[in-house]
Structure 1
Amino acid sequence: MADPEKIEEGLAHEENMEKKGDKLVEQQQQQQLQEQQQPLVKQKTKRVATLDAFRGLTIVLMILVDDAGGSYARIDHSPWNGCTLADFVMPFFLFIVGVAIALALKKIPKIMDAIKKICLRTLKLLFWGVLLQGGYSHAPNDLVYGVDMKLIRWCGILQRIALVYFIVAVIETLTTKHRPTVLEPGYSSIFTAYCWQWLGGFVAFVIYMTTTYSLYVPDWSFVVSTDSKTTQYTVKCGMRGHLGPACNAVGYVDREVWGINHLYMYPVWQRLKACTHSFPSSGEIREDAPSWCRAPFEPEGLLSSILAILSGTIGIHYGHVLIHFKGHSERLKQWVSIALGLLIVAIILHFTDAIPINKQLYSFSYVCFTAGAAGIVFSVFYILIDVWGWRTPFLFLEWIGMNAMLIYVLGAQGILPAFVNGWYYKSTNNTLVFWIQKHVFNNVWKSERLGTLLYVIFAEITFYGVLSGILHKLGIYWKL
């Protein structure tokens, strides 16, 4: 016969076990509920060192070619067809924008809130673009400010970045419900998973190619005013599909949309052999030069910026690869293979004269060539920094990349040198910036060209690297 006390102990033990089981089930349900709600909370994303270093490299290249390109024309923008060091800066920026969008928008709490933030950031980029490149400031060489609204330049680097950012980010946001969490097996799965992004890039490609080769470009005129006289010039066109400086559809669209007085007044084609005896450097326009040599042209215009969306699309693809593929070798296979494919396409198009590589027109071959180069450089940085762990040698690039907008404004747009030049002694040519460049670099090396290059490297770029490092240690960043 069973002991009553033992029966009661057994029943009590079973009751306790049931309570513990119920409590465990309740805890599991709460944990599942928290996991379901977790995507609604915006998580602080970890910075990608490779992306920061690559962004810093692009800023450094911009300062180098902007301030030393006048002395070394071979690193300055190509006068027309071809690609020089300066021609990589713009597409590198757009590639970075694409990668950053993929990382920033991989978790979207609320679509409408994300759209509002995208619109606000776009407006900020447009504002700073017009302010810095519209002609309001004449710094750092001329200590004057102000711009005639009849002549203000509406386009520029930040304006193009704003357009590409807006289109690519909106597509990424609106297709968030179609975004896969796990990719299907196969090399092409990453492309099919993000087909809407590639569709956006393809639409931009179709609009650009159709307009470039089918739009009729009529004759056009412009006026050049000097202190002594005003001269009107006429450029004879009446053709379609022309890819030269005079009668291309890219320039025609900008003249019709913005007005010829709102375009960039000093296009790089003025360094062509047909325009100056100083080729490939800048110089006086030849007396027998074609009329278009004196005309304005917008290198960051509307039609060319439409195809620039494709540069951002390729960049966002690299960001998607970074998100979905966790192994180093898998990421590098994807990145390097598409980069090599783009380079091959660009080289074939350029050397068969089908579509020359041309930054001013932002041609399709130029997109492929520069995006492929960006993919190779990004992959090399990834191997050195993330795979091999060589982060220390690239810290100064990483610091500049974390404060890219600030260094762009201070350095690439000359705001800090303008401030320093504002404190002159007797003459505006007698400033600290000019004195350092002349006495510490030009006179020491007995060469203005070499002195200018060394000044840009050691006085400008090094200074901004140190400044960025100090700001990073203080936790100070300027973001739009």
Structure 2
Amino acid sequence: MAEIKGEHNVHVVSEEEPVSAKPLPNKPKRVASLDIFRGLTVALMILVDDAGDQWPVIGHAPWNGCHLADFVMPFFLFIVGMAIPLSLKKIPNKLLAVKKVIVRTLKLLFWGLLLQGGFSHAPDHLSYGVDVKHIRWCGILQRIALAYLVVSLVEIISRSGQARDDPEHTNLSIVKLYYWHWLVAACIVIVYMTLLYGIHVPDWTFTVHNPDSIYNGTTFTVSCGVRGKLDPPCNAVGYIDRVVLGINHVYKKPAWRKSEACTMKSPYEGPFKKTAPAWCYAPFEPEGILSSISAILSTIIGLHYGHVLVHLQDHLSRLKQWILIGLALLTLGFVLHFTHAIPLNKQLYSLSYVCVTSGAAALVFSAFYVMVDILGLKLLFVPLKWIGMNAMFVFVMAAEGIFAGFINGWYYDNPQNTLIYWIQEHVFIRVWHSTKLGMLLYVIFVEILFWAVIAGILHQLGIYWKL
């Protein structure tokens, strides 16, 4: 979401032209498929956040594995990477480009802390404010900010006098031209793997800070004393966050609370078992330091796709590279997972997870590119395009529940008697005689479609939330 509007124009063959090696026109056109992919990702975030509790298969996997919700963050990072070369190519001056990147990074960090640091309690709680002793330092926008900053600076600093607009570029020449990006990626892999498997994780303690828990104020000890473990209590990712950030500054409701070890209602969230291990009550940061370092890889992969879009001069060449790399990433990721070498794990942002989710992002974008930018089927995806062109606005108002919190602030008799709750109960749940189906339809047709219409109106008025 670092790139919101008007930042990715590139040469695209007109809709009437066949998929061939025909040279592209001189006048750049906006890549509609990238807007639509961004819009889909924001819509998925709304869907999994608001319907994931009722449909575990679309919510986050408790630990190992990959559900629909686990694709959202990598898709965002991939899209940010794709947009970087499309936006920075317009700024030949390195100092101006660095200034723009730093300003955007600071804006993302500000909104991340405000929305996910604990200050906003929307939409369910009608209050604001956070005890700074328990502020959450990490989050979705903070991770995007880090990846955007690192990859953008590498893109700017590694610029050279080479003819980067040479129309004769080949697949291999693009990789060679941007070899610095792949060196950075290799360094990230080495650092991540070394820390993940090399750090000794000692025993650790924590105190439950949850007024609704019978263990509120109780201190637990988790026994570890191991190295290279990837299980919930004793992995290096959580250890680094506890040491650097402080255990009071990490996420209080990790997805592992829905695991079979913790609750009888797994994969739903529910009361903990009497025999639940101590770590079930502990906090864990899914957007922590080490996992965010690994997450930069998703943006670097997206960056390469953006370079292909800029340099290769026909649809077939672009699609060939995009699809082949996407399939290769998927294959590698699944091999690592199913051979039990490196499990798919969003919480750890494991290398197999990077490969599978980046490969999926590559194939989804390629599909949109074919349907929209080649076949011209834009009207089918207009709602997603509108959302994608005002992604930050929809993210804040819908995905973060700011607008719903405002509506819930106007209630009758008690805070549970609001317009939103009334619509959910009387228009969807009772009509369909199912909480699961009713909530799913509510999220799709009231939340996502509503914000698509609002984004469309703003688009017609030329109003965009730009960072």
TM-score (normalised: structure 1): 0.89
Counterpart of 1:188? 172
Counterparts in 2 of 1:278-297, with a 5 A limit?
A: 278-297=265-284
Counterparts in 2 of 1:315-394, with a 5 A limit?
A: 315-394=302-381
2:164 matches 1:177:
no
> Displacement of 1:92 after TM fit?
0.1
Q: Which moved more, 1:288-297 or 1:179-188?
A: 179-188
Q: Does structure 2 conserve the Cα–Cα contact (< 8 Å) formed by 1:311 and 1:367?
A: yes
Counterpart of 1:16? none
The separation in 2 between residues aligned to 1:338 and 1:79, in whole angstroms, is 29
Counterpart of 1:78? 61
Please report the RMSD computed on the Cα atoms of aligned residues, expressed in angstroms.
1.5
Counterpart of 1:447? 434
Length, aligned pairs only: 438
2:190 matches 1:168:
no
Q: Does structure 2 conserve the Cα–Cα contact (< 8 Å) formed by 1:108 and 1:173?
A: no
* Residue among 141, 164, 183 paired with 1:158: 141
For the residue of structure 1 that corresponds to 2:221, the secondary structure is: strand
Please identify which structure carries the higher helix content.
1
Unaligned runs of 5+ in 2: 1-26
**1:162-221 Cα distance to aligned partner (Å, 9 max, x none):** 000000001111122255332766542211111011111111111111100101111100
For the residue of structure 2 that corresponds to 1:221, the secondary structure is: strand
**1:264-323 Cα distance to aligned partner (Å, 9 max, x none):** 000000111010000101001111011111100000000000011110000000000001
* Residue among 359, 378, 397 paired with 2:384: 397
* Residue among 408, 419, 434 paired with 2:406: 419
> Displacement of 1:47 after TM fit?
2.6
Matched letter for residue 341 of structure 2: A
Q: Which moved more, 1:184-193 or 1:46-55?
A: 184-193
The separation in 1 between residues aligned to 2:144 and 2:398, in whole angstroms, is 18
The separation in 1 between residues aligned to 2:183 and 2:393, in whole angstroms, is 34
> Displacement of 1:343 after TM fit?
0.6
Unaligned runs of 5+ in 1: 1-43
* Residue among 437, 456, 460 paired with 1:469: 456
The separation in 2 between residues aligned to 1:338 and 1:183, in whole angstroms, is 21
Matched letter for residue 142 of structure 2: Q
2:127 matches 1:144:
yes
> Displacement of 1:358 after TM fit?
0.4
* Residue among 81, 85, 99 paired with 1:98: 81
Q: Does structure 2 conserve the Cα–Cα contact (< 8 Å) formed by 1:202 and 1:310?
A: no
Larger radius of gyration: 1
Matched letter for residue 243 of structure 1: L
- Larger RCO (CA within 8 A; separation ≥ 6): 2
The separation in 2 between residues aligned to 1:332 and 1:142, in whole angstroms, is 47
The separation in 2 between residues aligned to 1:105 and 1:125, in whole angstroms, is 18
For the residue of structure 2 that corresponds to 1:53, the secondary structure is: helix
For the residue of structure 1 that corresponds to 2:146, the secondary structure is: helix
**CA, structure 1 residues 238+261, in 2 after alignment: closer, same or farther (shift >3 Å)?**
same
Matched letter for residue 213 of structure 1: Y
The separation in 2 between residues aligned to 1:273 and 1:178, in whole angstroms, is 57
Counterpart of 1:35? none
The separation in 2 between residues aligned to 1:187 and 1:433, in whole angstroms, is 51
Q: Which moved more, 1:225-234 or 1:267-276?
A: 225-234
The separation in 1 between residues aligned to 2:209 and 2:58, in whole angstroms, is 31
Counterpart of 2:394? 407
2:277 matches 1:301:
no
Q: Does structure 1 conserve the Cα–Cα contact (< 8 Å) formed by 2:201 and 2:235?
A: yes
Q: Does structure 2 conserve the Cα–Cα contact (< 8 Å) formed by 1:183 and 1:193?
A: no
Counterpart of 2:258? 271
Taking every aligned residue pair, what percent have the same amino acid on both sides? 59
For the residue of structure 2 that corresponds to 1:150, the secondary structure is: helix
Q: Does structure 1 conserve the Cα–Cα contact (< 8 Å) formed by 2:169 and 2:312?
A: no
The separation in 1 between residues aligned to 2:51 and 2:92, in whole angstroms, is 45
